[in-house]
Amino acid sequence: MRSDNAKSGIQQAPARSLFRALGYTEEELARPLIGVVSSYNEIVPGHMNLDKIVEAVKQGVAMAGGTPIVFPAIAVCDGIAMGHIGMKYSLVTRDLIADSTECMALAHQFDGLVMVPNCDKNVPGLLMAAARLNIPAVFVSGGPMLAGRVKGEKKSLSSMFEAVGAYAAGTMTEEDVEDFADKVCPTCGSCSGMYTANSMNCLTEVLGMGLRGNGTIPAVYSERIRLAKHAGMAVMEMVEKNICPKDIMTEAAFRNALTMDMALGCSTNSMLHLPAIAHEAGVELNVDIANEISAKTPNLCHLAPAGPTYMEDLNEAGGVYAVMNEISKLGLLNLDCMTVTGKTVGENIKGCVNKNPQVIRTVENPYSATGGIAVLRGNLAPDSCVVKRSAVVPEMLQHEGPARVFDSEEDAIAAIKGGKIVAGDVVVIRYEGPKGGPGMREMLNPTSAIAGMGLGASVALITDGRFSGASRGASIGHVCPEAAAGGPIGLVQEGDIISIDINANTINMKVSDQELAKRREGWIPKKKEVSGYLKRYAEQVTSADKGAVLKGN
């Protein structure tokens, strides 16, 4: 056992004395030591129940003959951090989570790990750590929140942000907004639509790193506790068989994940996280293959914000495995990939039927013949940008209009809420990328303000920052190169005509090469004065199309 390095032999007698100080018996130390990485805290609604999940994991590990030992991982609530300096500290935690987990796991020589994440950067951060460490690991998330109900209709956090926009437009009262605030987030769990947290928890199932139901069983269901116990048991089987993350997270597994990303209509943030996780697993995942995969993968799900269904509905319809089984009819999945069940993808999804074709459409009746995400290129984004095509209304799939240029999210929000943005405009927000932000803030506030003010079917938004999975509309993010790195988005001027064709995967500003060359003469990208971790992050981070991984990793 790997843990023998820390507990066995005369040389490690001092370490045994410390284990005994912790209360461990000889019998416990004779078993495999399993690290349980707990993301529990009291600031993230998706994490407030993780203490119960962790206790269930510990029981599962112990029942299967292991000794569970808990240590922590940090997590930021994107919703609470949204719209102010706090959002600069969201994406950057992904690497802190991976690094700190690596430190704890190797310093204490655990034989296996059970990762207990739930929200946003916590999931990809721990997946990165699992790939980097390559010791047996199983994931069990805290589960999604139930949808709220306002005046008899299901609602979620995206509805809340759009209500603020509606208030600014004068179509909703302050009392209405507070009614939404009371009701849209009714339980613990990751917010109830196909936002980033739920996207990544679903894709963890697809990758083979989580058990069936990891992405969809609601946080408040007792079934989630049973799942956690089974995750604890599963890691012990993996330790016994020496099945490690790199045996599971292969190139074929990542292609499966991208395929299901398209079918499920996941958050555009998956296009930031999947390449970063793949990089840690030794797989180079070029974002360009997204369009190749999208071209042959139908979009089968329209969960909020793309449509009126929620994670609880997907769970009742059969969950991620049912969608995988539906997509497998087209021969688009590699069914031979190994998973944490000790079985292949094909064995796992066999017999997992679609119980509700209104929630999971059949391959014969998709929402669209192509996938939920598109990668665009052009003179505005030579290295690519990303849009959640499944959440764009048909009339905005092609759009041309004048640029309204802002060098920060705050300035853009002020203009939108001040009524200065009109139908046809293309809002450009720059200097919000990984390096320029720094931290690549999510732009849920401006997209929600646009939607709330009734402009969602007539205004596009382009940024070198990124979007929440709760954003909808022609919200185009991850523009690369970013403005701070000298990207053409930094050369856009007020009134430039921008042409977007999502079906053709193009995005261009109608400015000649000669004019762009002239603008570039003597131009120096803006640089924000930052300190502490953000300064170090800005100096080390790569571009969004590379997954915003840190140099040297």
**Over the stretch 169-208, which tens digit does the pLDDT of each residue have?**
899 999 999 999 999 999 999 999 999 999 999 999 999 9
Q: Is residue 243 scored above 90 in pLDDT?
A: yes
**What's the rounded mean pLDDT across residues 374-385?**
97
Q: Residue 472's pLDDT is what?
A: 84
Residues 308/149/40/315 CA torsion (nearest 10 deg): -40
Closest among 52, 48, 55, 98 to 73, alpha carbons compared: 98
**Least reliable range by pLDDT among 235-249, 397-411, 449-463, 530-544:** 449-463
Q: Residue 162's pLDDT is what?
A: 87
Confidence label for 247 from pLDDT (cuts 50, 70 and 90) = very high
Q: Which one of 141, 328, 368, 468 is the catalytic residue?
A: 468
**What's the rounded mean pLDDT across residues 43-56?**
98
User: Is the distance from CB of 460 to CB of 467 less than 8 angstroms?
Assistant: no
Backbone angles phi, psi at 367, to 5 degrees: -65, -40
**What's the rounded mean pLDDT across residues 405-428?**
95
Q: Residue 66's pLDDT is what?
A: 98
Parallel/antiparallel/unpaired status of strands 497-501 and 460-463: unpaired
Tens-place pLDDT, residues 53-66: 999 999 999 999 99
Q: Is residue 83 scored above 90 in pLDDT?
A: no
Q: Residue 444's pLDDT is what?
A: 83
Q: Residue 262's pLDDT is what?
A: 96
Report how far Cα 501 is from the mean position of its chain's Cα atoms: 25
Q: Which contacts (CB < 8 Å, 24+ apart) does range 327-330 have?
A: 327/259, 327/260, 327/263, 327/297, 327/298, 327/300, 327/363, 329/363, 330/296, 330/297, 330/298, 330/363
Q: Is residue 553 scored above 80 in pLDDT?
A: no
Confidence label for 416 from pLDDT (cuts 50, 70 and 90) = very high
Tens-place pLDDT, residues 109-122: 999 999 999 998 99
Q: Residue 473's pLDDT is what?
A: 86
Q: Residue 445's pLDDT is what?
A: 86
Tens-place pLDDT, residues 206-225: 999 999 999 999 999 999 99
468 classed as catalytic: yes
Q: Residue 52's pLDDT is what?
A: 98
DSSP H helices in 369-522: 409-417, 444-452, 513-520
Tens-place pLDDT, residues 425-474: 999 999 999 999 999 999 888 988 898 889 999 999 999 999 887 778 89
pTM listed for this prediction: 0.96
Q: Residue 331's pLDDT is what?
A: 98
Q: Hey, what amino acid is at 271?
A: M
**What's the rounded mean pLDDT across residues 155-166?**
89
**What's the rounded mean pLDDT across residues 326-347?**
98
Residue 438 preceded by cis peptide, ω within 30:
yes
**What's the rounded mean pLDDT across residues 503-522?**
96
Q: Is residue 166 scored above 90 in pLDDT?
A: no
Mean pLDDT rounded to a whole number for the chain: 96
Q: Residue 288's pLDDT is what?
A: 83
User: Is the distance from CB of 312 to CB of 218 less than 8 angstroms?
Assistant: yes
Distances (CA, A) of 390 to 54, 200, 266, 268, 302: 35, 17, 9, 11, 7
Residue carrying structure tokens 């209009």: 401
Closest among 182, 136, 140, 138 to 160, alpha carbons compared: 182
Q: Residue 286's pLDDT is what?
A: 87
Q: Residue 234's pLDDT is what?
A: 98
Q: What percent of the chain has pLDDT over 90?
A: 92
